[in-house]
Chains A and B, each alone.
Chain A
Amino acid sequence: MEDKLIRLTVNGRDEAVVIRPLATLQDVLRDTLELTAVKSGCGQGGCGSCSVLVDGELRLSCLTLAERAEGAEVTTLEGLNETNAIVPLQQAFVENYAAQCGYCTAGMVVAAKALLDRNPAPSRDEIVEGLSGNLCRCTGFAPIVRAVQQAAQALSDTGEEAS
């Protein structure tokens, strides 16, 4: 197997990167493109800290082969920061203390965005279900669930999108 050039769109920018055989999307995003909001809490698919959107779908970048993202549109948490204004979802995390160490936060926000994009008015159970792939060791989840509830409320009030 040899190194390979792939093209993909990341946070709206076209990128061409050389990947090692079996490189993961996480390797490309974190190491090559230096999008360090993509975390690596396990590399086993068990924690969700590496969550990103691939063509709008929630994916664990540690389990996604970079090759499979060829031509795809990838969004990391950094993609929500394109404007300087903090988006309502992020603001809800801040207001609800939905982070302590912050290591899980990028994955959580991305997972929450994926949820709200497909279901703008989720029930509490749907939020719990939507975040079930994401672990947090610090907060006890309650503030995170509340943050997503608040964001959903804010979105329904303004009719805006999650980001």
Chain B
Amino acid sequence: MAKVRGTGFAAVNYPTGMHLGGDPTQSLIHMTPAGDFVCTMASVDLGQGLRTVLAQIAAETLGVPYESIVVETADTDTGPHCTGTFASRTTHRAGNAVVMAAAEARKAMLEVAGELLEASPEDLETDGAGNIHIKGVAEKSVSVGEVAGAAHFGYGKTIAGRGAYLKPPSPMDPETGECDPDSTQAHACTVVEVEVDTETGVVEVIDMKSVYEVGQQVNPDLVKGQIVGGSWMGIGHALYETTAPGYPAIDPAPVDFQNYLQPGAAEMPEVACEVLEYPAESGPYGGKGVGEMVTNGPIPAIVNAINNALDVRITQIPVTPEVVLRALDEKRAQAEG
């Protein structure tokens, strides 16, 4: 016997935001006397880059430099309510709240700028580089810093904004399940090639290619980071991970990384990915959530590839060597049948 190869793929969709909505996030933005902005949130950054993404969204709406935005997170004393970081909701929910807060702050900023330039706020535009000028008249310009100084020390005004995003709760009909569950859906399709050692039952993922459709990306590098990390976690889920290897028995019960197995760098193939952008109506600048769906395509794609390689029908995860060998035994028994 030998090593055999197979390919498999899977197509998945994933909802953005908590199921049925009702999960608010709020945002407060204010301008400092120096002309930068503090965006205060209670949302929590788990490493996905929330602070970066929200700063980008705030800068976009305010029309000021990205570098001039500070994002403060995770403090119940200062941050307005956020339901939490889960359900692929934060870019969408917090992002929308930031858009609203930033729009209100921008309005206040342009009002002060209008007084300084003796123009109506509607006739002003921002250049994204820290200046505000009269539309079409680049010389009639003030810097955001000058506006900040005037607002604080000249007019005694706040330049600030509040944002609150809520997808209203939609109950699920207990009989039919009728509901409005999500804000939008993101999509992915993952193609995998595996090599299976029919002697040992060991599966190696040798190639993984994915296409994702996540609406407008706020930060493509961070989207890619999620996709690559999720691809790896998908390999873990498909082939290794369980807290109950004898499920449903509660023993054995791994308590350390020697017995709770995960793939290492050696088990990680090159991951190719392509990202399509079909902006979502409800998303901040069309963004959808991507954080969770990234394991969902690789797992079935890997199992489909194993079944394809061996011409067997494995329907459980993790597909450990033992599961592979059992499937091969069954196939042999059937053939001899």
Q: Which of A6-14, A79-87, A132-140, A155-163 contacts B (4 or more CB under 8 A)?
A: A132-140
A140–B46 CB distance below 8 A: no
Taking a contact as CB atoms under 8 Å apart, the answer to whether A135 and B257 are in contact is: yes
Q: B265 touching A145 by the CB < 8 A rule? A: yes
Residues of B close to A139: CB separation below 8 A: 225, 228-229, 232
**Residues A102 and B47 in contact, CB atoms below 8 Å apart:** yes
Q: Within residues 93 to 150 of chain A, which ones have a CB less than 8 A from any CB in chain B?
A: 97, 99-103, 125, 127-129, 131-132, 135, 137-145
A128 engages B266 (CB within 8 Å): yes
Contact A101 B257 (CB under 8 A): no
Is A47 in the interface zone, CB < 8 Å from B?
Answer: yes
The yes or no answer to A46 lying at the interface (CB within 8 A) is yes
Do B257 and A140 have beta carbons less than 8 Å apart?
A: no
Shortest Cβ distance from A101 into B: residue:
B47
In the complex, chain A residues whose CB is within 8 Å of the CB of B49: 100
- Establish whether residues A142 and B228, one from each chain, have CB atoms under 8 Å apart when the complex forms: yes
B262 touches A (CB below 8 Å):
yes
Q: Are A140 and B228 interface neighbours, CB within 8 A?
A: yes
In the bound complex, CA of A138 to CA of B222 (Å): 12
A42 within 8 A of B: yes
Digit string of B232-270 for contact with A (CB within 8 Å is 1, else 0)?
Answer: 110000000000000000000000111000101110101
In the complex, the chain B residue whose C-beta lies closest to that of A140 is B232
Interchain pairs with CB closer than 8 A, number: 66
Chain B min CB distance to A160 (Å):
25
CA distance A47 to B257 in the complex (A): 7
Chain B residues closer than 8 Å to A145, beta-carbon distance: 265
Residue of A nearest to B221 (CB): A97
Q: Which residues of A contact B221 (CB under 8 A)?
A: 97
Q: How far is the CB of B15 from chain A (nearest CB, A)?
A: 22
Query: B48–A141 contact, CB under 8 A?
Result: no
Question: Given the complex of chains A and B, what is the CA–CA distance between A129 and B264 in angstroms?
Answer: 10
B binding-site residues for A, Cβ under 8 Å:
46-49, 221-222, 224-225, 228-233, 256-258, 262, 264-266, 268, 270-271
Q: A interface vs B, CB < 8 Å?
A: 42, 44, 46-47, 97, 99-103, 125, 127-129, 131-132, 135, 137-145
* Pairs A–B under 8 Å by Cβ, sample size 26: A44-B256, A44-B257, A44-B258, A47-B257, A97-B224, A97-B225, A100-B47, A101-B46, A102-B47, A103-B47, A127-B265, A128-B264, A129-B266, A135-B264, A137-B233, A137-B262, A140-B229, A140-B231, A140-B232, A141-B265, A142-B232, A142-B270, A143-B225, A143-B228, A144-B265, A145-B265
